[in-house]
Structure 1
Amino acid sequence: MIALVAGVAILGGCSLPRGAAVQSEVLSEADAEYPSFQVIDVTRANMPLIASWPRTGPEMDRNWLGTSTGANQSVIQTGDLVNIRIWDSQENSLLTNPSEKSTEMPNVEVGANGAIFLPYVDEVFIRGLTPNSARQRIQSKLEAIVPTAQVQLSLTQGRSNSVEMVGGVSSPGSYAMPSRNYKILGLIADAGGISSSMKNPLVRLMRQGATYEISANTLLGSGSYNTLLLPGDTVVVEEDDRTFTGMGASSRQTVVNFPKEEVNALEALSLMGGLYDVRADPKGVMVLREYSPRQLRSDGSAPNMQQVVFTFDLTSADGLFAARKFQIYPDDVVLATESPLAGLQTLLSIVNSGVTTTQRSVAAANAF
């Protein structure tokens, strides 16, 4: 017993190794006259106010475009190729040979001005027309010189009538729009679908200098998000790169990727492997967050300091319900502090190990 007391006294003055800080150490500055951070004890009562505060860190642009319906036919654009075949039954036709009843003009490109050139007719403007409307216009122009002419027209779409599927699918590339009713889920399907190896894939749509973003799960979950594509659109599928940092008395101390669009505090702890049951303090779970100066307010509608520590007491139902409502934002730090008793447990373990070793040594000496 004397050895035990002496050991405790000696080791009590030493700094024992620990895996995490104690809550009182982290918050010690909060009681200073001019603290550099704000401390918020999160409860069900104040969660609605906290939830209304500005978001932090990189986040998805939620201004996604809803679905709509386009025409189920193609429209000719600059750079498209049209194949024209002209039929004429006249014996002395200007356009066909005596031995043939038709002549073909393959791969006629629609120029920058939206027109194609036809012999004896000059330029015919067809950009913005459907293939059938373009055929009718060409035939109408030919009637002045070949009254009996009949026109066939087929379309090969160019870059101005296509969309780009850049990555995250089995077959990225440029895809011609089969009609004006071509939607983003149709493009993803044509490209082979989203790679199954991607974690929480995001779908980005780039259009005329603007970028729109949505999680693949959300996109696939509702037809209202199946955006109608426009020529020149670029679609990218990539993994969500948003992360938070898990630290302290948890099973995993690491940078954690968001597995879905939103993660609450309880889910964050689960992604960290849960609290370390021997050392963690369930009354001392914290989320450290940094706001920008422009987000600060003094009226309570936002934090009044850039650096904020949110604390949770997970030993009460109030704290657990509040943690389930609290959203983790990108670049947050989730800290599981160590129980104040963990140090004493370590100390007693060391002393007990020393006493056991001494007893074994004495027993061995007495044996001789």
Structure 2
Amino acid sequence: MLSFRGLTALCLCAVLTGCNAPRGAGFQSEVLAASEAATHDTDAQYDFAVEPVTRDRLAVLQSWPRVGPARHGWLNRSAGAGAPVISAGDLVSITIWDAAENSLLVGAGQRVTQLENLEVAPNGEIFLPFVGDVSVTGLTAAAARSRIEAKLLSTSPSAQVQLSMTPGQGKTVNLVSGVRAPGRYPLPDRSYGVLSLLSEGGGVDSGLVNPQIKLFRGGRIYSTSVERLFANPALDTTLQGRDRVIVEEEDRMFLSLGATGTQAQHLFPDDQVSALDALAIIGGLAEDRANAEGILILRTYPHRAVGQNGPSKPWVVFTLDLTSADGLFSAKSFEVMPGDLIYGTESPVTSARSILALFGATLGVASAL
């Protein structure tokens, strides 16, 4: 006949066998069980593919279509003349000197007359007294001055002209946000680039994560990262009048859950983030319970990507084994995409240890009875 102590121990053991040790994540076998069921049941609710990230498969996996928000293209730098040209809407100021007696251009007893802020008409002309309409669009300030002097020869052969131009709204760009001094900036010349504009605006806000720059021109949008722009001078796009430039924080994210260092959404700190980079960003794995052989990356592909040059199913689980050199090098090269979920599975060994610890504690309790 069992003693009271033995009976109590048996009861506690029965309780242990009837429950699982508390866990914060699933085992790899549990997470992937739905895929195994789907291979035998075409009506299974969770029908996804499982792809090991290994050196042999890496090239194929990386060739699949990208996912996430569409990335707009960017414009390379174009060569432009240094001196700005006059356009409709610009303001032209003209100073005329004439030493001739009884000059029609200057008042009696004077030698100079000034015509301030003449707006260039939509047809590209300005009006000058005793001269008429003069076309100045497409000319530099020096060329426009020479044209006006030539027009004055018939009425005032001795007249000399000085001309200055103030850009109109068509010669300005709007720096909207993401810098210390947003505002409207005039284009000093036709080779004025985005980097010069950012500098004039006081530089990019240092608090932005992986800042992105967007250029609105006409009805089109161009975008790239500031990091990429700084690294490649050929991308210093030449600005045009009425361009709008916005600098904003990166909006692409990935998610971490399970037995990882943190469970949260994470912004992409760089244009490209590898699986190893992502693990570093999320604080690695939970040392006391994570399965380093069972790191999962869950990704959803659009249906149009499924086929010969893409995954076999829209839902794909990529598996990484960080306990081997092959797995580590592959994870270093495998690129994380926006919207990916990085999931750390629970280690069966850790759970077994937890059960054994509980079992030991049970025996201790039973022996104390």
State the TM-score, normalized to the length of structure 1.
0.92
Shift of the alpha carbon at 1:24?
Answer: 0.9
Name the counterpart of 1:26. 31
Name the counterpart of 1:260. 270
Q: Contact 1:76 / 1:161 at 8 angstroms: preserved in 2? A: no
Equivalent positions of 1:1-368 (< 5 A) are 2=6, 6-32=11-37, 33=40, 34=42, 36-61=47-72, 63-297=73-307, 299=308, 301-356=309-364
Taking the aligned partners of 2:188 and 2:156, their CA distance within structure 1 comes to: 33
Q: Which amino acid aligns with 1:307?
A: W
Q: Which amino acid aligns with 2:265?
A: V
Moved more, 230-239 or 31-40: 31-40
Taking the aligned partners of 2:116 and 2:360, their CA distance within structure 1 comes to: 93
Q: Contact 1:245 / 1:333 at 8 angstroms: preserved in 2? A: yes
Q: Which amino acid aligns with 2:342?
A: V
Q: Structure 1: which 5+ residue stretches go unaligned?
A: 363-368
Taking the aligned partners of 1:110 and 1:8, their CA distance within structure 2 comes to: 94
Q: Structure 2: which 5+ residue stretches go unaligned?
A: none
Shift of the alpha carbon at 1:107?
Answer: 0.8
Taking the aligned partners of 2:366 and 2:165, their CA distance within structure 1 comes to: 93
RMSD: 1.8
Taking the aligned partners of 1:54 and 1:193, their CA distance within structure 2 comes to: 35
Taking the aligned partners of 2:11 and 2:349, their CA distance within structure 1 comes to: 20
Taking the aligned partners of 1:278 and 1:7, their CA distance within structure 2 comes to: 25
Q: Give the secondary-structure state (helix, strand or coil) at the position aligned to 1:123.
A: strand
Q: Which amino acid aligns with 1:123?
A: D
Taking the aligned partners of 2:133 and 2:13, their CA distance within structure 1 comes to: 100
Taking the aligned partners of 1:240 and 1:51, their CA distance within structure 2 comes to: 23
Q: Give the secondary-structure state (helix, strand or coil) at the position aligned to 1:270.
A: helix
State the TM-score, normalized to the length of structure 2.
0.92
| 1:271–1:8 Cα change, 3 Å | farther
Q: Which amino acid aligns with 1:157?
A: P
The Cα offsets for residues 98-146 of structure 1, whole Å up to 9 and x where unpaired, read as 2111110001111122211111222211112111111111222222222
Q: Contact 1:204 / 1:211 at 8 angstroms: preserved in 2? A: yes
Shift of the alpha carbon at 1:209?
Answer: 1.8
Taking the aligned partners of 2:216 and 2:151, their CA distance within structure 1 comes to: 40
Q: Give the secondary-structure state (helix, strand or coil) at the position aligned to 1:252.
A: coil
Taking the aligned partners of 1:126 and 1:349, their CA distance within structure 2 comes to: 90
Shift of the alpha carbon at 1:352?
Answer: 4.0
Q: Give the secondary-structure state (helix, strand or coil) at the position aligned to 1:263.
A: coil
Shift of the alpha carbon at 1:341?
Answer: 2.7
Moved more, 116-125 or 157-166: 116-125
Q: Contact 2:257 / 2:341 at 8 angstroms: preserved in 1? A: yes
Q: Give the secondary-structure state (helix, strand or coil) at the position aligned to 2:262.
A: coil
Q: Which amino acid aligns with 2:66?
A: R
| 1:233–1:4 Cα change, 3 Å | farther
Shift of the alpha carbon at 1:348?
Answer: 3.2
The Cα offsets for residues 23-81 of structure 1, whole Å up to 9 and x where unpaired, read as 111111212222511111111001001111000011533x3222233211111122211
Q: Contact 1:23 / 1:337 at 8 angstroms: preserved in 2? A: yes
Q: Which amino acid aligns with 1:26?
A: V
Q: Give the secondary-structure state (helix, strand or coil) at the position aligned to 1:219.
A: helix
The Cα offsets for residues 270-318 of structure 1, whole Å up to 9 and x where unpaired, read as 1111011111111111111111111111x3x211211111111111111
The Cα offsets for residues 321-355 of structure 1, whole Å up to 9 and x where unpaired, read as 11111100000111111112333333333444455
Q: Which amino acid aligns with 1:53?
A: W
Taking the aligned partners of 2:9 and 2:349, their CA distance within structure 1 comes to: 18
| 1:7–1:86 Cα change, 3 Å | same
Taking the aligned partners of 2:9 and 2:56, their CA distance within structure 1 comes to: 48
Q: Contact 1:8 / 1:348 at 8 angstroms: preserved in 2? A: no
| 1:221–1:8 Cα change, 3 Å | farther
